[in-house]
Structure 1
Amino acid sequence: TLVAKPQDLLKQQIAQGSGRRLNGSVATEYTVVAPFKDSASNAEHPHLSARLHTRLYDGGASIRTDMVLENNWTFKANPGNLTYELTVRRNGQIVHTQPRITHNYQARWHKVLWTGATLPQYRVRHHMPYFLASKATWNYDLSLRIPDSVLADEARVLASSNTAPMGPAMLVPYFPTTGGRSEIGPQPRWTALYLITQDDRARASMLANADAAAGVPVHYRDEGSGQPLDVERNPNVAVRFGSSTPKLPTPTGTTIYTPDTAHQASFGYMPYLITGDAFYLDEAMFWASWNIAAVDPYYREGAKGLIYGNEERAQSWALRSIDEASRIVPDNHPMKSYFQTRLANNLNWYVQNYPQNANAAARSPFGAIKSPWDTKKAGPWQNDFMTLVLTQIAEDGDPQGRTMLNWITGFTVGRFLNEANGFCMAKAPGYWWDVTDASNQFFSSWKTLFDTNYAGSKGASCAGMAITEGSPDRVDDYAAYARAMLAATSSAGITGASGAYSKWKSMTPKMDAGYVNDPTWAIVPR
């Protein structure tokens, strides 16, 4: 039997004013870290620990505790899955029981518990136009009227999902699964639904899936710092690819999850902005930390934390996670400068290797990022992903993000603007294009790019040309990705993007009806 007794620790912290995260007229919150000890020997369990974010209302008359169970130390020997059941008592009275579960290694779960006076009956609603105008996220289309049937179906699917600790909820456990998925996009589908409706059913879905992501074995907490693993303290550590120094212990057991970066959602960012809960702040940090440490130390240049060694969509989503963490980690948090520096390191690398590369032959005159696996080709849609992430960074005022955005939009926006130069807009939502010739020299004209990749349309008039790629009638394919990218770049002030968005919108009218069912990519100009 393992026992954790955080109450005495909490009393000490209140008396000393330590571990205090919130301190205001309405509530005060303390974070208590409590080890589990063997009730017979008093020996600490090497892997299982509790973190309690305890919020006191009305001088402690009402207490909200976000109880977090973690099995995620990085360097302790013999990590693995743990099977247990849990009982939580307050002053001898049982307030929660958790039936037998198997807790994944490098994972965590949580449960919010209220004790004391009657629970407060309120729900915060944000002024969403202001929320979006803050540029904390992309400008989702608030004019959409989501049918109640869509929200009811969201609740039905969630109710039939496994939302127990370590359950996947609505996530696809095998991340490399290809094709459109609800979690893949600038923000997941359920988050877009919430931003547009603020409906409780969408909120429940968003938070349940964020909770499910906590069960994925990517959560490494450094025993030395008490924070998510960082490559500044451990420049040669590797959690996925490459040789790790120090070597990480091999865990026992398996999980249902296979995480990767190329098919990764934003899990904790928006839930933290909506709730302010420390659990979701930690989630955002854990995922960003893993995305950095998962890159081979050789390619990430050790402590620099570079992510260019991934395919481009993986770079995009990893960069998004680093940017999100650098934004929301409070200024006085010990990890703030870590994520800010890793973001700056990556943006500097992109700028130096693309727009400011002294070797002109090494950079596309259009602004295309090539595939690392086939250096003749570039994926327009993957470049769109990167462009979307860069719009958010640039709108946050980052000069290097702006420099990189200005460069890449020469390709991503440019392919919608150059019909006069021989590239028909109807072919803009392509899959893979050759961007170099047989000698691996970049094409320098839009006509050559078009004629090489669309030889069957060579010489044809652009007027009335059918859109044959990217599923222009759907909201979850390349044509929709491009439309969201054009909206975001229009908001970011990229020359020509506003006109390109308007024309592309007129060419994809059937997409509009679909957004009410799936607003994942329903981004419009600010």
Structure 2
Amino acid sequence: MEVTSGSAQTNLPITFGQPFRSGDLATSQGLRAQDSVGNTVPLQMDEVSTHKNGSVRFAVLSASVPSLPANTARIINIYPATKTTSSVSLPASPAWNLQVTARLSDGSTLVANPQQALQQAIASGSNRRLHGPVASEFNIVAPMINQSTGAAHPHLVARLHTRLYQSGQIRTDVVMENNWALKASPSDLSYSLTVTANGQTLLSQPSFTHHHKARWHKVVWTGAAAPNVRVRHNMRYFLDSRATWNYNLGLSIPESVLAAEASSLASRNTGPMGTAMLTTDMPGTGGRSEIAPVPRWTAMYLISQDDRARASMLANADAAASAPVHYRDHETDQPISVIKYPNLALRYGSSNPSVPTASTSSTWKPDIAHQGSYAYIPYLITGDAFYLDEMMFWAAWNIAANDPAGRGTSQGHMGSEQLRGAAWGFRSILEAAFAVPDNHPQKTYFRTIANNNISFFNSNFTATTDTQYVFPLGGLKGIYNNNQIPGYENDFFMYVTAWALENGETGMQATFNNIARYIVGRFTSAVQAQGFCTSKGAHYWNESRSGSTALSSWAAYASANGDGPSCGTVANGDGAYPDWAGGYAAVSRGMLGAAANAGHSDAPAAYTRWLTFTPNLGTDFKNDPSYAIVPR
């Protein structure tokens, strides 16, 4: 880790996420840390999730940097060590004394005074997320009490992720939720909000409208000012952990691109219910920055770790919280589950139990097929509970939004989604299955749903004959598009399949092997020798049949889809745009890199070959690296 502070500081507390390569750290081990000038750095590890082999996959780390000169980078090196148990002493009644006050448009005032709840949590060790010699964090759920009636508001709740550092600073992530799934009479709520502590106003939010099934948050500090600090990961190791795809760290994002990102963000609404750079009409056509394995701003951050890219990534993750996809079960206090409610329907079909609807409608039109990965990398970078919850909410909605019959009721599979929806929906489920801590009550849920999807794909995507889902060459059909083959959607699905395999999901191997016959095969010289032009490999929609006859050879496939006598040496399929980082040629190039990383024997050569068909893409990847994924 590299830590930089804008001012000289001592005992600087930092908390961040850290992924680990499979096999690098056993759960029986601990960690130790030392900075680049030889100081021992107190370090603790929490919120552990594990790989399939039982080694640590991800953890939230908290460190206390002994001294840090102003504007001087300090490297924090982290090593495996013998696990130790440190005694932790917390004040019985911290000088927190937070008060959250909401003044509703109807004139009523709601107040939460959670000091006693924090004291009880400290005494009992309940609702504790982080705990060690550096930091302890408690999740305090505070009902908003009507001052006049003494009754708790039925929908508005404050969730206070309260982190007590041994240095004396207290960090509170104030999360306001209006998202009970099954409580009657949900509605939009208009209110202003103030947060005070010990006579000081920490947050003053003017009146706005908080939509139902949405949430927002703001971090405040007590005890001392917020640390002025920047943390950067060893990004080579971060990517080598397989936590995400292998983005090209050799790219240099131009200053002009980063400056434009900051300027664009500054012009957007990033306040409560603001949508930042996100598209709220999600089913709408056209490319957008969030549709890729990770969004453009996230890829920019992974490559540059620039503060402006980080600000954009986190602002857009926050904006995703304003979408009406946040359904919390009041009985479990967790995102809604189709295992508990097999016939729940949040978007299509008849729901049992019924889901109360509000009289107001959101400007958002949530969708699975055009969905970004909003909170996964922000959680891996920060370790913040807000992004962990956000990641789970989107995955849970993707599962429950499909018609119960189409998803196999409690199975929660993506079979009834269009292919790109199956890809991005499965990605969100894997994100949760991978990153949710092993001791979290939702871990088993997302792991089970991930396994169910793998079983579904192996049952339906491995045929070598013409079926509802696959045609004989291995390509996946658009199930609602008359047996056509959407090339770019096949690439999307391969991204997720390859990433699953990189993360030890060996159950995906059969699906991967079968669909790669087409998805990777269309870029190989062997297929071109059989009559299909490599230059046509990146495309929009192609036919899988000639009349009623399934196309079972590459020559027949080429003929049915208009390949001429000359193949050409530059990508020229419908929508390929070989010089544009948002075109289908770019989508395919990154896909081939991902397939190579998953171990496909033909993919490295296909990737190298496709480079010659897309010679100018590298230049535009500097402007938009969404698909700048390369072989490891």
**Bucket of the pairwise TM-score, normalised by the shorter protein:** over 0.9
| Secondary structure at 1:271 match in 2 | helix
Mapping of 1:173-188 within 5 angstroms? 173-188=280-295
Aligned partners of 2:407, 2:483: CA distance in 1, in Å?
24
Aligned partners of 1:499, 1:466: CA distance in 2, in Å?
16
Name whichever of 405-414 and 368-377 sits farther off: 368-377
Deviation at 1:253, TM superposition (A): 1.4
In the other structure, the counterpart of 2:394 is: 287
Residue from 184, 200, 219 that aligns with 1:93: 200
Mapping of 1:383-402 within 5 angstroms? 383-402=490-509
Pairing 1:342–2:449 present: yes
Residue from 449, 474, 496 that aligns with 2:602: 496
Residue from 442, 467, 481 that aligns with 2:572: 467
Aligned partners of 2:166, 2:339: CA distance in 1, in Å?
41
TM-score, normalising length: structure 2: 0.81
Which amino acid in the other structure matches residue 467 of structure 1? N
- Structure 2 unaligned spans of 5+: 1-108
In the other structure, the counterpart of 2:550 is: 442
| CA-based RMSD | 1.4
Identity of aligned residues (%): 51
| Secondary structure at 2:119 match in 1 | helix
Residue from 333, 350, 354 that aligns with 1:247: 354
| Secondary structure at 1:345 match in 2 | helix
Name whichever of 333-342 and 396-405 sits farther off: 396-405
Residue from 427, 448, 461 that aligns with 1:354: 461
Aligned partners of 1:431, 1:287: CA distance in 2, in Å?
27
Pairing 1:515–2:621 present: yes
| Secondary structure at 1:217 match in 2 | coil
In the other structure, the counterpart of 1:419 is: 528
Which amino acid in the other structure matches residue 536 of structure 2? K
Which amino acid in the other structure matches residue 442 of structure 1? A
The Cα offsets for residues 441-475 of structure 1, whole Å up to 9 and x where unpaired, read as: 431100000011015x1xx1435476253111111
Q: Do the aligned partners of 1:74 and 1:222 also contact (CA within 8 Å) in 2?
A: yes
The Cα offsets for residues 182-219 of structure 1, whole Å up to 9 and x where unpaired, read as: 11110000000100000110000000000000000000
Structure (1/2) with the larger strand percentage = 2
Q: Count the aligned residue pairs.
A: 520
Q: Do the aligned partners of 1:188 and 1:266 also contact (CA within 8 Å) in 2?
A: yes
Which amino acid in the other structure matches residue 567 of structure 2? C
Pairing 1:505–2:611 present: yes
Name whichever of 32-41 and 63-72 sits farther off: 32-41
Deviation at 1:348, TM superposition (A): 0.3
Pairing 1:330–2:472 present: no
Name whichever of 119-128 and 18-27 sits farther off: 119-128
Q: Do the aligned partners of 2:245 and 2:594 also contact (CA within 8 Å) in 1?
A: yes
Aligned partners of 1:217, 1:468: CA distance in 2, in Å?
37
Cα separation, partners in 2 of 1:124 and 1:448, compared to 1, 3 Å: same
Residue from 402, 424, 431 that aligns with 2:540: 431
Which amino acid in the other structure matches residue 585 of structure 2? A
Name whichever of 371-380 and 208-217 sits farther off: 371-380
- Structure 1 unaligned spans of 5+: none
The Cα offsets for residues 97-148 of structure 1, whole Å up to 9 and x where unpaired, read as: 1110100100000000011124323221100000000000000010111111
Q: Do the aligned partners of 1:84 and 1:100 also contact (CA within 8 Å) in 2?
A: yes
The Cα offsets for residues 314-347 of structure 1, whole Å up to 9 and x where unpaired, read as: 1111010001011110000010010011011011
Which amino acid in the other structure matches residue 35 of structure 1? P
Which amino acid in the other structure matches residue 148 of structure 2? A
Deviation at 1:402, TM superposition (A): 2.1
Which amino acid in the other structure matches residue 152 of structure 2? E
Pairing 1:404–2:497 present: no
Name whichever of 300-309 and 209-218 sits farther off: 300-309
Cα separation, partners in 2 of 1:413 and 1:2, compared to 1, 3 Å: same
In the other structure, the counterpart of 2:341 is: 234
In the other structure, the counterpart of 1:54 is: 162
Q: Do the aligned partners of 1:313 and 1:385 also contact (CA within 8 Å) in 2?
A: yes
Cα separation, partners in 2 of 1:426 and 1:145, compared to 1, 3 Å: same
Aligned partners of 1:493, 1:158: CA distance in 2, in Å?
39
Q: Do the aligned partners of 1:70 and 1:109 also contact (CA within 8 Å) in 2?
A: yes
Pairing 1:3–2:111 present: yes
| Secondary structure at 1:351 match in 2 | helix
Pairing 1:109–2:195 present: no
| Secondary structure at 1:123 match in 2 | strand
Aligned partners of 2:411, 2:400: CA distance in 1, in Å?
10
Cα separation, partners in 2 of 1:408 and 1:435, compared to 1, 3 Å: same
Q: Do the aligned partners of 1:361 and 1:442 also contact (CA within 8 Å) in 2?
A: no
Q: Do the aligned partners of 1:152 and 1:201 also contact (CA within 8 Å) in 2?
A: yes
Aligned partners of 2:315, 2:177: CA distance in 1, in Å?
18
The Cα offsets for residues 380-403 of structure 1, whole Å up to 9 and x where unpaired, read as: 110000000111111111122222
Q: Do the aligned partners of 1:22 and 1:30 also contact (CA within 8 Å) in 2?
A: yes
In the other structure, the counterpart of 1:24 is: 132
In the other structure, the counterpart of 1:33 is: 141
Which amino acid in the other structure matches residue 395 of structure 1? E
Aligned partners of 1:18, 1:513: CA distance in 2, in Å?
53
Mapping of 1:259-274 within 5 angstroms? 259-274=366-381
Deviation at 1:356, TM superposition (A): 5.6
| Secondary structure at 2:155 match in 1 | strand
Which amino acid in the other structure matches residue 31 of structure 1? N
Residue from 179, 190, 214 that aligns with 1:83: 190
Q: Do the aligned partners of 1:186 and 1:388 also contact (CA within 8 Å) in 2?
A: yes
Structure (1/2) with the larger helix percentage = 1
Deviation at 1:26, TM superposition (A): 1.1
In the other structure, the counterpart of 1:142 is: 249
Pairing 1:320–2:427 present: yes
Aligned partners of 1:196, 1:517: CA distance in 2, in Å?
12
Which amino acid in the other structure matches residue 535 of structure 2? A
In the other structure, the counterpart of 2:152 is: 44
Residue from 329, 332, 336 that aligns with 1:225: 332
In the other structure, the counterpart of 2:316 is: 209
Which amino acid in the other structure matches residue 539 of structure 2? G
Deviation at 1:361, TM superposition (A): 5.5
Deviation at 1:360, TM superposition (A): 6.6
Q: Do the aligned partners of 1:393 and 1:402 also contact (CA within 8 Å) in 2?
A: no
Q: Do the aligned partners of 2:570 and 2:578 also contact (CA within 8 Å) in 1?
A: no
Deviation at 1:4, TM superposition (A): 0.8
Mapping of 1:357-396 within 5 angstroms? 363-396=470-503
Which amino acid in the other structure matches residue 543 of structure 2? D
Residue from 57, 61, 64 that aligns with 2:171: 64
The Cα offsets for residues 259-287 of structure 1, whole Å up to 9 and x where unpaired, read as: 11111000110000000000000000000
Aligned partners of 2:126, 2:450: CA distance in 1, in Å?
30
Cα separation, partners in 2 of 1:365 and 1:43, compared to 1, 3 Å: same
